[in-house]
A and B are shown apart, each in its own frame.
Chain A
């Protein structure tokens, strides 16, 4: 089987498992909604101000929501000693990682698709800059969070206090990406400055860290 064939098998497996219970997605959706409502109460911005802060609030909400789901995505590998089986399987370990990261990406993208209209409603948003660029920024930003998040969730698999460790490691490493996605979104919404620099930063960040994750996953998986 080709490499992409392996990735596709892993992806299908995760999508199937998630579809049966839909735990992660429901949890993420509701969590993000709550975060949006709470921030809305906390800041109650005017229309002009909301364009400045909506980018930040959106990505913070997604960051928290994704973090809650990322740990869960690996725990299903721990049940029934599936992880040992994965290690012994002839498929390359990075294919396991990529399949899982893509699955997580799809779940978070689904949450975004529901969240974005809510944002427009709560904050009375319309983009003053080039709105179509949001279709570029959202996937790039989501991949940055999900790729590193999936990797670090795997790192923390056998640690005590796994839920606490993921944010501790993920947030500092993601700071450049967070800066990029928030600045790009704010630039597009407010139209006050150019998002180009931040989009380039996101692309560079994604390239660098996706490569690092793919290369180092086997080491992390076999870290015994």
Chain B
């Protein structure tokens, strides 16, 4: 695989700018944004929590698109299929990272805000199921025998993609039929004062850029691993040819 000469400098620049953006956004979240009238300083958690939650709903679709691409190209263009598969696993791992952060920070905030670590409301439960699905995806990739891994994982990804909206709707119906004893007053974003928007938007953009960086790096890592495997396989074939002479 030819090594692109612009990729290196662009990658380093992206990394540097993203890191700077994260630091700036964090500073905005902690220092610049005004203290909330109702919650005091603890609301600053949302500047990290909400961007991660929103982004963790984006990466699964990248995984789904890549898996569908893999299934489409599998017989038609194996090289493109390999690239699609590399993107699929990258997106799955980034989903698990962002989803874990969403759940963890959400629980820490919930304990302060509502006095409980967890409740089965529709958003939390849907996020938990999403997280479980993608951890199962990663486990399938790890445990299946090579040669089959990519296809099986792509199939699972399609199932997960069908399931996620169904999960969301079903749990939403469940939780509006039986309203939970703790009342959740809608989206946290609806409470956001315009003066907090800059901090929020900076955090959203910075963590999105970071996510793209992680996705790209993981993709390149996977491509490199695929290359190594191909080289090793080629070498094994060559060596076996030498032995017969």
A205 vs B133: C-alpha distance in the bound complex, in angstroms?
17
Is A197 in contact with chain B by the CB < 8 A criterion? yes
Q: Which residues B151-191 have CB closer than 8 A to chain A?
A: 151-152, 155-156, 158-160, 162-163, 166-167, 169-171, 173-174, 177
- B139 engages A165 (CB within 8 Å): yes
Beyond the given pairs A175-B167, A224-B148, 19 more chain A to chain B contacts, judged by CB atoms under 8 angstroms and listed by A's residue number, are: A155-B152, A155-B155, A158-B144, A165-B140, A169-B136, A172-B136, A173-B163, A175-B129, A176-B167, A176-B170, A179-B174, A193-B177, A201-B169, A208-B166, A212-B159, A212-B162, A216-B155, A223-B147, A223-B155
**For chains A and B in complex, what number of residue pairs have CB atoms within 8 angstroms?**
84
In the complex the two chains form, what is the Cα distance from A175 to B145 in whole Å? 27
The answer for the CA separation of A216 and B74 in the assembled complex, in Å, is 14
Q: Are A169 and B129 in contact, with the CB atoms below 8 A?
A: no
Across chains A and B, which 5 residue pairs bring their CB atoms closest together, nearest first? A223-B151, A176-B170, A172-B132, A159-B144, A159-B143
Question: Across the interface, do A212 and B158 meet the contact criterion of CB distance under 8 Å?
Answer: yes
The reply to whether B152 and A223 contact each other, CB–CB distance below 8 Å, is: yes
| A159 with B140: CB separation less than 8 A | yes
Residues of B within 8 A of A168 (CB): 136, 139-140
Instruction: Please state if A220 and B152 are interface contacts (CB–CB under 8 Å).
Output: yes
Q: Smallest CB–CB gap between B101 and chain A, Å?
A: 19
Question: Chain A: interface secondary structure?
Answer: helix
B residues at A contact (CB < 8 Å) = 71, 129, 132-133, 136, 139-140, 143-145, 147-148, 151-152, 155-156, 158-160, 162-163, 166-167, 169-171, 173-174, 177
Instruction: With CB as the reference atom, state the residue of chain A lying closest to B150.
Output: A223
A residues touching B (Cβ–Cβ < 8 Å)?
148, 155-156, 158-161, 165, 168-169, 171-173, 175-176, 179-180, 183, 193, 197, 201, 204-205, 208-209, 212, 216, 219-220, 223-224
Report the bound CA distance from A223 to B75 in whole Å: 11
A83–chain B nearest beta-carbon distance, Å: 13
How distant is B218 from chain A, measured CB to nearest CB, in Å?
22
For the residues of B in contact with A, the DSSP-based class is helix
Chain B residues contacting A156 (CB-CB under 8 Å) are 140, 143-144
Q: How far apart are A110's CB and chain B's nearest CB, in angstroms?
A: 27
Closest CB-CB distance, B198 to chain A, in whole Å? 38
Residues B152 and A173 in contact, CB atoms below 8 Å apart: no
Which chain A residues border B166 with CB–CB below 8 Å?
A: 176, 201, 204-205, 208
**Contact: B177 with A197, CB < 8 Å?**
yes
List B contacts of A223 (CB < 8 A). Answer: 147-148, 151-152, 155
Q: Which residues of A contact B162 (CB under 8 A)?
A: 208-209, 212
Contacts of A160 in B (CB 8 A): 143, 145
Contact residues in B for A183 (Cβ distance below 8 Å): 174
Question: Can you offer 14 A-B residue contacts whose CB atoms are under 8 A?
Answer: A160-B143, A160-B145, A161-B143, A165-B140, A168-B136, A168-B139, A169-B156, A171-B132, A175-B163, A175-B170, A179-B170, A216-B155, A220-B152, A223-B155
What are the residues of chain A within 8 A of B159 when measuring CB–CB?
148, 173, 209, 212, 216
Please report the C-alpha to C-alpha distance between residue A160 and residue B146 in the assembled complex, in whole angstroms: 11
Contact assessment for A220 and B155 in the assembled complex, using a CB-CB cutoff below 8 Å: yes
- B129 pairs with A172, CB closer than 8 A: yes
In Å, the complex CA distance between A219 and B71 comes to 8
What is the bound-complex CA distance between A212 and B157, given in angstroms?
12
Q: Say how far A170's CB is from chain B's closest CB, in angstroms.
A: 9
**Which residues of the other chain, A, contact B169 by a CB distance below 8 angstroms?**
176, 201
Q: List A contacts of B71 (CB < 8 A).
A: 219
